[in-house]
Structure 1
Amino acid sequence: MQSTDNQELSLFRDMVRDFLAYEVAPHYEQWEKDKIIPTSLWRKMGEQGLLCCDIPEQYGGVGVDFRFNMVVGEELARAGFFALSTNVTVHADICAHYILNMGSEAQKQQYLPAMVSGECIGAICMTEPAAGSDLQGMKSNARQVGDNYLLNGSKTFITNGQNASLYIVAARTDMNVKAAKGISLFLVEGDAKGFSRGQNLDKMGQHAGDTSELFFEDVELNKDALLGKENQGFIALMTELPRERLALACGAVAHAEGALKLAVEYVNERKAFGQPLAALQDIRFKLAEMYSKTETHRVLVERYKEKLMARELSAAEASMAKYVCTEMECDVIDEALQMFGGYGYMREYPISRFYVDARVQKIYGGTNEIMKEVISRDIASLIS
């Protein structure tokens, strides 16, 4: 059975690579300049079955396992299309699974098929101007008025903020208790009255990915817009975080693998002192270190994929994966860029995009400092 699974994954990976070669690679530089990926690409990905692969067939998906989703994100990252990898991960591995795992049957039927097809793009809205990794500082609130809610507040750094047509918004529904006990999740459609998108934020990297400020001013929502139970949003967020953080770790490893491949190709072609750079012992030793790092972290994420599918991956383990893999990613890419010398600093060389795209990995999804805090709280169970 395992060999059959691996064969299917290999065939699927080949299909993803072909799609990227024809539909993404020729256009990606322009999308970087435009600072947005056209929604038409999302629909093409949907047509090819590259979005939300593991959503059950009854909701329009293929019903395969988590690893197929990771093939898409990893191949995007390995090829250096990291902004798109991030956007797809938010859509397919975070938003779609919030709805699948917490939504009512009506919500699943309404949104999931459109998310699979790429007609509906999802965004998750937690971060606020004054509340980043610590959701206790959340100010957005949804006040009950009769049978409805009035949503007010703002969010920032929201991936897919411009392109999305469905937003999962975290807001406080009980201001008299700590935020952890009074947060609810709401489904807000992009054309809702009182909702507005701010500017497409000008980031250091991942330029092709739209990242936005969002504003909610007396957005009226009926009870059907509540995702899950009232005041249970924080628990829902914590439940879904292991998948999110493992997905970030998988992307980090693939991104580092892609950078290493670029470095190997370059040092075998570039000459110094009358010989290829690869002939220098220092370069060979650096490559050995980089490969050892990517390979050991690859083993980790593959093991954790199995644990996630068996519902055995803990929050601390997912946090550890996110922490160590993103640190490794940035280290390896930095070493790879160094091998390019001055050319590595030029935007015409893809390695420069790898470098700026990677840095935020240690920040979003919970900063790596927060990851260490989560790990430390559970260290006794991890080493028992």
Structure 2
Amino acid sequence: MSAAHVRAVPPAVPGAAGRADVAAPLDRGRRELVLRRGRVSVVVARRSVVAVTVLVVLTLVVAVLTLATGDFPVAPADVLRALTGRAEGRTATVVLGWRLPRVVLGVVLGAALGVAGAMFQSLSRNPLGSPDIIGFSNGAYAGAVLVLLSGGTGYLTVAAGAVGGGLVTALVVYLLAWRRGVQGFRLIVVGIGVSAVISSVTTWLVLQAEVRLAVAATVWGAGTLNGVGWDQVRPAAGLGAVLLLGVVAVSRGMHALELGDDAGAALGVGVERTRLAVVVVGVALTAVATALTGPIAFVALAAPQLARRVLRAPGTTLVGSAAMGAFLLVACDLVAQRAFAPQQLPVGVVTVSLGGAYLVWLLVHEARSR
């Protein structure tokens, strides 16, 4: 960027309304950061930049605490030395080999779930629109469980099953919710029903399986980061980078549809084509997380709305949701590891507990606002 500055938008110029050669500046009522490069400029609210920066810093602080605490305590200074390659022996093994993969995966998957939740809430124009509620998470989980119980092993095989299950669920929900287009409320209601059916089918599959496989599927179904290593982090980071390009590609049309289908079409957006692309990318993000850790509930639901309130944004924000999702998941994972030591809980147990309380608050808040 060749120039960056903060500006305060001035009030409209008196008397400028009747002059064709003077354009009154638009008063957005907030200070803005303007980034320019040649003919391209980006205007960002200063509060958004500050809030996202604070969330990133908080995530890093929680990450250092996670790396420093445990059965083998490590001083924060030694953690920083290990991260910069200046530590050796047992400290380097504990920090880099055992704990860092879990933290990195928590950040990556938390950001992915936050973005997926923001995409579905933008699509449905409803704060309840998330992969957890609509049923796409359960569909991805069912696909992964079907592969596991069929003898499939390896991340790519399970990921393929999760993506397939999520996409089939999305197709079923989309077709059942279709009535001269898809409305957000109808999508959510149909998704809740389909999710209940899929959950029943998944339970039946687990009950019919061998005891060893059933126990493994049940524990994994709680959503856990226990036992992850670099073998899981590398493919997750690679797939996340590819899907990030998809998010960027559909983001403009997605935000245009927040104004309504007619407004989006007037802006040149292919309504159904964009909506379908958002569903595919959002389901893929959810499936990648589910294939690695099982269904981690409520991060996708809570992160976009919390980010929206912290940033004071008029709608869902992808960057803010990613930062909030990463922070929520690593913070919940720290609680899952340390609050009940020496026993480690699946992180999904913590997110469900906190997310359930958040969902109750959200329903009450939405009911009072009507």
- TM-score, normalising length from structure 1? 0.28
- Structure with higher RCO (Cα < 8 A, 6+ apart): 2
**Which structure shows the bigger proportion of residues in helix conformation?**
2
Bigger share in strand: 1
Structure exhibiting the larger radius of gyration computed from Cα positions:
2
What TM-score results when the alignment is normalised by the length of structure 2? 0.29
